[in-house]
Homo-oligomer: A and B are copies of this chain.
Amino acid sequence: MENSKRYEAGMDVMKKLFSEEVRGGMAGMKEISPDFWEMIVSFGFGDTYSREALSLSQKEIITLTALITQGAFDQLKVHLEAALKIGLTKEEITEIIIHCSAYTGFPKAVQAMGIAGEVFNGT
A residues adjacent to B (C-beta < 8 A):
1-3, 6, 28-29, 31-33, 35-36, 39-40, 43-44, 47-49, 51, 53-54, 58-59, 61-63, 65-75, 91-92, 94-111, 113-114, 116-117, 120
In this complex, what residue of B is CB-closest to A65? B65
Q: How many copies does the complex hold?
A: 6
In this complex, what residue of B is CB-closest to A63? B103
- Name 23 A/B residue pairs within 8 A (Cβ), A-sorted: A2-B2, A29-B110, A32-B114, A33-B97, A35-B94, A36-B97, A36-B101, A40-B106, A43-B43, A48-B98, A53-B91, A54-B92, A54-B95, A59-B99, A61-B62, A62-B100, A65-B66, A66-B68, A70-B108, A71-B72, A102-B106, A103-B105, A103-B106
In this complex, what residue of B is CB-closest to A70? B69
A104 vs chain B, min Cβ distance (A) = 5
Cα–Cα, bound, A32→B47 (Å): 18
